[in-house]
Amino acid sequence: MSDKPLHKRKGSLLGTVKAVLWGFLGVRRNADYQDDIAKLNPVHLVVVGLIMALLFVFILIFVVKWVVS
């Protein structure tokens, strides 16, 4: 595990998005998971996860309205 405090970790935005997408799928290698834990900021993961979940819901609403109309 990394010695850096959780709030001082700096991970890339692309790495955070990729980790969240893999989390949505529920498929992740243990080595990649451990690497994410060591490098990524948990606050960034939560924020990106919430944004992507809201985006997913809005896309579903848009598709349903488009199909129904």
The DSSP code for 6 is G
Question: What pTM did the predictor assign?
Answer: 0.75
40 belongs to a structural domain = yes
41 belongs to a structural domain = yes
1 belongs to a structural domain = no
Q: What is the pLDDT of residue 8?
A: 61
Which residue's structure tokens are 């955070």?
Answer: 16
How far apart (Å, rounded) are the C-alpha atoms in residues 16 and 22?
Answer: 10
How far apart (Å, rounded) are the C-alpha atoms in residues 22 and 31?
Answer: 13
Q: What is the pLDDT of residue 7?
A: 55
Range of the domain at 47: 6-68
38 belongs to a structural domain = yes
Residue 63 has φ and ψ, to the nearest 5°, of -65, -45
Q: How confident is the prediction along the chain (69 residues), in pLDDT tens digits per residue?
A: 556 555 566 778 888 999 999 888 888 888 888 888 888 888 999 999 999 999 999 999 999 999 998
- Total structural domains in the chain? 1
